[in-house]
């Protein structure tokens, strides 16, 4: 990689550049914090910016759970009473007791409640001593770095790819780990496999057996014009088209319709290449009844039909279950039993259909050896059909960050990030990403919304400018001295800073990482290192395809 040597200053921000193009000050952290930028041209039309924003603040505070206004006021009075004799000469003063309201955000009424923040301590050791004193009095608080809260000062490391589709001559695509739905791989492994000059993590996915099949994309996935995973209704997605010329589009409200025509009898198919009866993140139509999207929730439906193709992987578990199954060959004829050599995987051009529960009664009378059957599917964006073609890829994401420059808080509830109770399935929270998993969370989505949406975490997002340029942004997190991450609203602000008019969030947390020329541009947040993911967004330069 070739780094640039010219340095100049705008206010407190430092920029390194080769041409007159300047990356704007990103809207995150303290307004007077220094921003430094290193710009690298990876290929014509593909540019990498490595951004650092620095603040000297590294302090800790004690925080409560979300609580009602009355309980928050009582907690403050109790803390003042307990600590009053000790106020002089201790790290705590009355001005360091803060009640923060989480009931409103912009024009959105959240009704989350309030949090109490106690003190500003220079180390976790000092905070722990004081916290232990409060714990003896029955007050249970959590120690956090002050920069983990949105809109606070902090340190940030942000990697940005800018793609000019009119100049870049390479290919942009999404790649499944191990070239199939089943299984996971790191972004670095996938990038190396396809010789990508740059890559980032992609969409949401199931990673545990109790969610779905590990590796299943929890939302729409299209690979080279082929639908690999159905949509979660009302969620956004990134569309990439490599033909006839490179272009990008953010789909704001995606849905899919799947069916199979058996000798003129149409039957609905509920999903593709996923675990029968399981729907991670919910969001589907059930015989005319819409089950809303709900992030990190598993919905179950005993009456389903799911279809599998060559992209799925090992089908042994599908065949071992007590469900009705049948096959469709390349000539669109049904067969009931495969050859012995076809037991483990669906052959190219063939389909396996598995049906459970009451839906068996709909399929079994129609399925006869040699009957004709045709699988069809349609992708819609805001009710309009999206024609799938070779060279086209779609990556799932959410929530929406910007639509026509406007933030999308009011749409987050419909996309699966509701702060209110939704009795649609069972929680499947990702403990690796430090989202609370308490009894309170099981009963309410408020703590989940507060942590997942409103607090800072590693994030990956994509945005489109008015001239069609694609911005891919990874902000690393959970390391106060290096980078704290961003809240979802802050990611929208960053995208707006870059000039994006439409933007959406992708998978984040420990999944967030960018790889440029074989090297990670920052530290993933998992203690075990780079996390394995289900798919990646990759950039392969011309001549390396």
Q: What is the mean pLDDT of residues 175-197?
A: 96
pLDDT at 90 (0 to 100): 52
| Band (97; pLDDT cuts 50, 70, 90) | confident
Closest CA to 66 of 356, 323, 513, 446: 446
Q: Is the peptide bond before 399 cis (omega within 30 degrees of 0)?
A: yes
Q: Is residue 355 over pLDDT 70?
A: yes
Is the pLDDT at 141 greater than 80? The verdict is: yes
Minimum mean pLDDT among 22-31, 38-47, 342-351, 448-457: which range? 342-351
User: Is the pLDDT score of 430 beyond 70?
Assistant: no
So what's the pLDDT on residue 8? 30
pLDDT of amino acid 425: 61
- Report the share of the chain in percent with pLDDT over 90: 74
Measured CA to CA, the distance from residue 474 to residue 491 in angstroms comes to: 10
State the average pLDDT over residues 378-402: 97
**Contact yes or no for 243/232 (Cβ under 8 A):** no
DSSP notation for 264-308: TEEEEE-EESS-TTEEEEEEEEETTEEEEEEEEEEEE-SS-EEEE
pLDDT of 247 reads: 98
Q: 431-451 burial, b if ≥16 CB within 10 A, otherwise e?
A: eebbbbeeeebeebbbbbbbb
Tokens at 371, concatenated: 């009957």
Q: How much is the mean pLDDT over the chain?
A: 89
**155: exposed, middle or buried (C-beta count within 10 Å: 0-12, 13-18, 19+)?**
buried
For residue 106, pLDDT over 80 is answered with: no
Q: What is the pLDDT of residues 333-353, one digit of tens each?
A: 999 987 765 678 999 999 999
Parse the chain into domains and list their residue ranges.
58-152, 160-398+457-540
Q: How far from 498 is each of 46, 117, 369, 473, CA to CA, in Å?
A: 15, 33, 58, 10
pLDDT band at 119 (very low <50, low <70, confident <90, very high): confident
pLDDT band, residue 78 (cuts 50/70/90)? confident
Mean pLDDT is lowest, of 231-240, 321-330, 514-523, for 321-330
pLDDT score, position 468 = 96
* CATH 3.30.70 assigned to 58-152: yes
Check the CA dihedral 526-527-528-529 and report its sign. Answer: positive
pTM for the full model? 0.91
What is the average per-residue pLDDT within 494-520?
Answer: 97
The pLDDT confidence band at residue 439, using thresholds 50, 70 and 90, is very low
Residue 17 has pLDDT above 50, yes or no: no
Per-residue confidence (pLDDT) for residue 55, from 0 to 100 = 87
Residues 193-229: tens digit of each pLDDT: 999 999 999 999 999 988 889 999 999 999 999 999 9
pLDDT given at position 163: 98
Beta-carbon neighbour count of residue 10 at 10 Å? 11
């Amino acid at each position: 990689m070739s780094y640039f040597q010219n340095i100049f200053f705008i206010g407190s921000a430092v920029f390194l550049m080769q041409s007159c193009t300047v990356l704007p000050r990103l809207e995150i952290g303290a307004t007077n914090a220094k921003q430094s930028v290193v710009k690298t041209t990876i290929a014509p039309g593909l540019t990498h910016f490595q951004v650092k924003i620095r603040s000297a603040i590294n302090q800790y505070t004690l925080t409560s759970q979300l609580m009602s206004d009355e309980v928050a006021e009582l907690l403050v009075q109790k803390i003042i009473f307990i600590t009053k004799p000790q106020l002089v000469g201790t790290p705590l003063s009355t001005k360091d007791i803060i009640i923060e309201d989480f009931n409103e955000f912009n024009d959105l009424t959240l009704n989350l409640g309030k949090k109490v923040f106690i003190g500003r301590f220079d180390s976790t050791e000092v905070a722990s001593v004081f916290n232990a004193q409060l714990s003896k009095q029955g007050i249970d608080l959590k120690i956090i770095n002050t920069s983990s809260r949105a809109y606070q000062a902090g340190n940030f490391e942000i990697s940005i790819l800018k793609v000019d589709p009119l100049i870049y001559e390479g290919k942009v695509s999404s790649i499944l780990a191990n070239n199939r739905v089943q299984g996971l791989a790191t972004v670095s492994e996938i990038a190396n496999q396809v010789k990508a000059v740059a890559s980032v993590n992609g969409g949401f996915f199931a990673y545990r057996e109790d969610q779905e099949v590990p590796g299943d994309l929890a939302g729409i996935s299209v690979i080279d014009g082929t639908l690999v995973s159905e949509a979660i209704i009302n969620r956004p997605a990134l569309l990439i088209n490599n033909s006839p010329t490179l272009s990008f589009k953010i789909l704001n409200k995606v849905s899919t319709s799947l069916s199979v025509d058996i000798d003129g009898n149409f039957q609905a198919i509920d999903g593709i290449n996923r675990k029968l009866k399981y729907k991670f993140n919910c969001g589907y139509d059930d015989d005319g009844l819409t089950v809303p999207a709900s992030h990190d929730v598993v919905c179950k439906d005993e009456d389903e039909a799911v279809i599998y193709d060559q992209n799925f992987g090992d089908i042994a578990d599908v065949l071992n279950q007590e469900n009705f199954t049948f096959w469709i060959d390349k000539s669109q004829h049904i067969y009931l039993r495969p050859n012995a050599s076809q037991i483990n995987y669906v052959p190219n051009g063939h389909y396996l259909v598995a049906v459970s529960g009451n839906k068996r009664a709909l399929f079994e009378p129609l399925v006869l050896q040699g009957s004709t059957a045709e699988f069809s599917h349609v992708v819609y964006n805001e009710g309009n059909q999206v024609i799938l073609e070779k060279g086209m890829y779609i990556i799932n994401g959410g929530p929406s960050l910007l639509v026509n420059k406007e933030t999308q808080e009011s749409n987050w509830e419909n996309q699966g990030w509701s702060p209110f109770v939704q009795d649609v399935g069972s929680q499947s929270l990702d403990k690796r990403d430090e989202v609370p998993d308490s009894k309170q969370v099981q009963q309410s989505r408020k703590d989940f919304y507060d942590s997942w949406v409103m607090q800072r975490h590693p994030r990956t997002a994509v945005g489109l400018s008015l001239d069609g340029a694609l911005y891919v942004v990874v902000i690393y997190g959970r390391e106060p001295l290096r980078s704290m991450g961003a809240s979802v609203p802050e990611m929208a602000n960053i995208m707006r800073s870059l000039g994006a008019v439409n933007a959406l969030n992708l998978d984040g947390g420990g999944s967030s990482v960018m790889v440029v020329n074989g090297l990670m541009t920052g530290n993933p947040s998992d203690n075990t290192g780079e996390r394995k993911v289900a798919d990646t967004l990759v950039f392969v330069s011309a001549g390396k395809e």
